[in-house]
Structures are given as C-alpha cells and as structure tokens.
C-alpha cells in the first residue's frame, strides 16, 4: 500500500494532545493475547473500558473461552499494575453476524470478508462508545501481524465521521516492540493462544494446526 501512515507516531501525538487530562476510552478487544500490550499502553493516559463484541468467533465455546481469558487477564493486570480496567460484553449471535460474510465464504483470509468483519465489529463498538458518552474509541486489533493496521485505522477514521462526538485513537500497537511485549505478557500470564482468527471460515485451519501440534507432541 502506497503512502503508508505511521500510526504509532500518530498515537504518541494523540497522547500529547491530552495534556493532563485522563479521559475515558472504549476499547474493542477480540481476545486476551491481543489486549495485553494495548491495555498497558493506553492505561498510561486513559481510563479504559473494554467492549467484547465478537460474534464472529465460532463456535460459541471458543467465543466464551476467549472472553474468559480476557477477563482473567484484566483481573491480573488490575491487581499487578494497579489499574482499573472494566470489561463489558455484547450478546453472542454468530448466525446473524455471518449473514454479511457468507457471500465471501470461499475467500482466503485477509481479503474482503475479513475487512467486512473488522468494520462490523468496530462500528458496533464505536456506536456503543458514542451512545454511552465515551469521548474516545479504539481497537486492539492493530497489535496483530495478520491484520493490516492501515486498513483498521482507515475504518476508524471513517467511523469518526459517523460518530463525531467520539474521537478515534489511531494506533499501531505492534510497533516499537509492542508485538514483543505482547508475546512476553502472553507467556507471563499463561494465556490461551488460539490457533485461528476466530470465524467459522478459518475454523478448519485451526483444527489442522491443532492436529499437527498433537501429532508433533505424540511423535516427540
């Protein structure tokens, strides 16, 4: 993608704009591992509330496991880092959620189906932020190497025009060793590391990885 924006540097400028304020921010989080470093980074300057709205995750048992791991991580961070992060969750409805994705079921991961998925979850969370008085919103998804931070931030910029009373916090959490810190935190907190993005269209890939790991353990 030409003319890439350095969203990590932009996030630092966002911090500077706050001055001595410590406003509330609603953060869309998809799982514990992706939330690790972003929560530490954001909590330096914001009062953080997480919204777990991820009806894309299939099956429900996987959705619930990722939610429970996120809750455990937040509880541990609140205790160890003396934070006060809160977690909210939306009801799970995978069947309705997938209606917009089904036409692109056969696409490889990372194309149009995934972009629709990012936008759906970010829009739902952004709308919640706007309707519930949060002056800022962001998503932790820019921590992932598998997700294009340019696309995610473009979605955020477009949503800021739709919900002008809530500002979007631009980010690229993986930069400046953020991805390395996230990995260290995942290991430190013994977080469940999922083997696929989450949707039913990538579920088979996760099962293949699981069988390969089990085979390696057996042969080892």
Q: Are 125 and 154 in contact (CB under 8 A)?
A: no
Tokens of 217: 């353990």
Q: Model-level pTM?
A: 0.94
For 28, list phi and psi in degrees, rounded to 5. -75, 125
Per-residue pLDDT in tens (0 to 9) along the chain, 220 residues: 468 999 999 999 999 999 999 999 999 999 999 999 999 999 999 999 999 999 999 999 999 999 999 999 999 999 999 999 999 999 999 999 999 999 999 999 999 999 999 999 999 999 999 999 999 999 999 999 999 999 999 999 999 999 999 999 999 999 999 999 999 999 999 999 999 999 999 998 868 766 766 555 445 5
- Taken as a whole, the chain contains a residue count of 220
* Domain ranges across the chain: 8-194
* 38-40-41 Cα angle (round to 5): 60
48 contact partners, CB below 8 Å, separation of at least 6: 25, 27, 39, 42, 83, 85, 86
- What pLDDT, on a 0 to 100 scale, did the predictor assign at position 213? 66
Per-residue model confidence (pLDDT) at position 218: 44
Please tell me the CATH code under which domain 8-194 is placed. Answer: 3.40.50.620
Q: How far apart are CA 132 and CA 212, in angstroms?
A: 45
């Amino acid at each position: 993608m030409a003319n890439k924006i350095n969203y990590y540097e932009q996030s630092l400028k966002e911090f500077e704009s706050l001055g001595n304020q410590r406003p509330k921010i609603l953060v869309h989080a998809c799982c514990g591992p992706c939330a690790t470093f972003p929560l530490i980074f954001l909590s330096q300057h914001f009062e953080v509330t997480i919204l777990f709205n991820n009806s894309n995750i299939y099956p429900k048992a996987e959705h619930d496991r990722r939610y429970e791991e996120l809750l455990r991580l937040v509880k541990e961070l609140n205790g160890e880092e003396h934070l006060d992060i809160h977690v909210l969750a939306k009801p799970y409805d995978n069947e309705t959620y997938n209606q917009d994705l089904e036409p692109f079921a056969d696409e490889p991961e990372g194309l149009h189906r995934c972009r629709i998925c990012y936008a759906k979850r970010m829009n739902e969370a952004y709308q919640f932020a706007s309707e519930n008085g949060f002056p800022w919103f962001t998503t932790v998804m820019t921590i992932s190497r598998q997700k294009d931070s340019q696309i995610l931030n473009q979605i955020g910029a477009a949503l800021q025009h739709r919900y002008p009373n809530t500002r979007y916090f631009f980010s690229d959490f993986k930069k400046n060793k953020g991805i390395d810190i996230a990995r260290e935190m995942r290991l430190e907190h013994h977080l469940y590391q999922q083997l696929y993005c989450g949707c039913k269209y990538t579920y088979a890939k996760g099962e293949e990885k699981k069988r390969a790991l089990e085979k390696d353990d057996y042969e080892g």
